[in-house]
Copies of this chain bind each other. A is one copy, B any other.
């Protein structure tokens, strides 16, 4: 598959996902809720989670090969409805995160809590949450539902752990990666694994796609945390330095802390323990400078690359094919993305 062909196929899948979401949301009768959902869901999202479900399902189907196998009996419509549930859940968590962080902008537009109000954002998040669960239950059955429930419980626990890590100024990378596993990787892994389940895949295939998903999710968040220091606000659609202002202990900071001289380390600790978000915000440029000279940004990128490599290695149990090429293209995209 040449790059143009690959691009074309991925775009077609994204458009299909968008259409399935629009069809599903046509049942929303309350006009303001419909407007809010449109604003929250159709803003150039990358649809990575539903793409993963679709690709995982067709990877398994492709391997089973023959058309008479039970997996070819899977309704493509069910797979797509299962897939969009993961986009809904992701959007629900962004709606709630923006309320919690009092964020004003997302993807270059006003957040729902700003354009409407925080009650609207909470309720719209709850609607997507339950709609997701309902779709997973109907399209994917009990096993997929359990996967999703475990992932959401992990997300909530991780958000609590992240708050605690900020409050306690926890400099351990182990805490950071434990938070990432719950916050980002759990849902991405569930999106992958559900695709295998709905295609009636084997245990070994589930494990492979889960390993791919966990590593992709971790790398995704590592790059996200990097972009919060190095991104172009005009491209990412949000202001730089949010994490520092909020006192979030992300990987660039943790690596710098480890690599710094004792004097630098002391200075960095003082900045983080500063009383107010505004005070931390003022030091953004100087903190970023320290992160650059300690090599933290480069080390961060190397870590993300290592994670993607590990994820792709898990997929070698499948014979080469177009799905695998697309899954590695997604890995590459995660590393190269600018927003």
Contact = CB atoms under 8 A, between A and B. Distances in A.
A146 interface: yes
Interface in A97-144: 99-100, 118-120, 122-124, 126-127, 129-131, 133-134, 137-138, 141-142
A157 interface: yes
Contact of A160 (B32, B131, B152): B32
A123 B161 CA distance: 12
Interface in A1-46: 28-30, 32-33
Give the residue among A28, A99, A130, A149 with the most B Cβ atoms within 10 A: A130
A120 B33 contact: no
B120 A122 contact: no
Contacts of A152: 126, 130
A29 B119 CA distance: 29
Number of copies of this chain in the oligomer?
A: 2
A270 interface: no
Nearest to A182: B30
A112 to B, nearest CB: 13
Nearest to A95: B122
Interface string A43-81: 000000000000000000000000000000000000000
Contacts of A32: 160, 163-164
B120 A133 contact: no
Interface residues of A, number: 37
A35 to B, nearest CB: 10
A159 interface: yes
Interface string A256-267: 000000000000
B123 A122 contact: no
Contacts of A126: 96, 129, 152, 156
A145 interface: yes
A276 to B, nearest CB: 16
Nearest to A155: B126
Nearest to A29: B157
A62 to B, nearest CB: 29
Give the residue among A28, A126, A164 with the most B Cβ atoms within 10 A: A126
A145 B134 contact: yes
A122 B145 contact: no
Interface in A154-187: 156-157, 159-161, 163-164
12 contacts: A29-B157, A30-B160, A33-B157, A120-B160, A126-B156, A129-B129, A130-B153, A131-B153, A134-B149, A134-B153, A137-B137, A137-B146
Interface of A: 28-30, 32-33, 96, 99-100, 118-120, 122-124, 126-127, 129-131, 133-134, 137-138, 141-142, 145-146, 149, 152-153, 156-157, 159-161, 163-164
Given A32-B160, A133-B133, 19 more contacts: A28-B157, A29-B157, A32-B164, A33-B160, A96-B123, A99-B118, A99-B119, A100-B119, A119-B159, A120-B160, A127-B153, A129-B129, A130-B133, A130-B152, A131-B149, A137-B137, A137-B146, A138-B142, A142-B142
